[in-house]
Amino acid sequence: MTPKSYSWLRRPRLLTVTEGGRSATIMIGPVRGPEHVALIHSLRFYHVPVSAIAAARTAVEFLAFYEPASRFRAATGVIHEYAAILHVSRALRHDLPGLTWPGRRGENTLYYRFDLGPILSLPHPITNPDRLRVVFRFPDLERLRTSTTIRDLGKAGLPRPVAGKRAGAITPARPPQKYGDVT
């Protein structure tokens, strides 16, 4: 398969489809390992370096957790759980609680902090038997619930949204700020 779920710059695309009048976009974010999953469950937040995704990409309603095979000593990567995003803010890495592993870019790196609602289980796991690279993907919620593989999340043939024209689209992000709320 050619990497149709990424643009030529290897940036994730938004895939949003309206099903029965309801539309939601979900971010699929990789987790570091079992200690990261435990942190997500106990403190209910996910973090991403600001340099990793555009500010407009923070306007998602849900976050799913991709467990890479290499980090979990498994035959294939998998997604078991997701959660609603309640709030997005910016914080320096050293201000994020519970991080016991070193940051790649240092403790003063700016991060997005996604505060999460209850962690929900998918009806069935989504596997990655083709061992496709997963950085961040942005499919719709219904596709997440019905997919069985990572490849299914990026299937072509669905209309691609035009910025600002989809249901629930956000207005352009305001100028970057040092840290604090993202609106």
Q: What is the pLDDT of residues 7-23, one digit of tens each?
A: 333 333 333 434 455 56
Structure tokens at 23: 């539309």
Within a domain: 105: yes
**Cα–Cα dist 95/180, whole Å:** 11
Q: Cβ distance 30 to 135 under 8 Å?
A: yes
Instruction: Specify if 66 maps to a domain.
Output: yes
pLDDT at 92 over 90: yes
**Residue 60's domain is classified under what CATH number?**
2.30.130
**Would residue 43 count as lying in a domain?**
yes
- The stretch 82-104 carries a mean pLDDT of 94
Check residues 57 and 41 and name the one with the higher pLDDT.
Answer: 41
Whether residue 135 has pLDDT greater than 90 = no
Q: How many domains does the chain have?
A: 1
- Integer Cα distance of 56 and 42 in angstroms: 27
Token code pair at residue 69: 């095979």
Q: Report if residue 20 sits inside a domain.
A: no
**3 found inside a domain:** no
pTM: 0.70
* 94 within a domain of the structure (yes/no): yes
What's the one-letter identity of residue 4?
Answer: K
Q: Hey, how many other C-beta atoms are within 10 angstroms of the C-beta on 37?
A: 18
Nearest to 78 by CA among 93, 88, 68: 68
Q: How far is 61 from 21, CA to CA, in rounded Å?
A: 16
CA–CA separation, 10 vs 30, rounded Å? 16
Domain membership flag for residue 84: yes
Q: Which domain holds residue 89?
A: 26-181
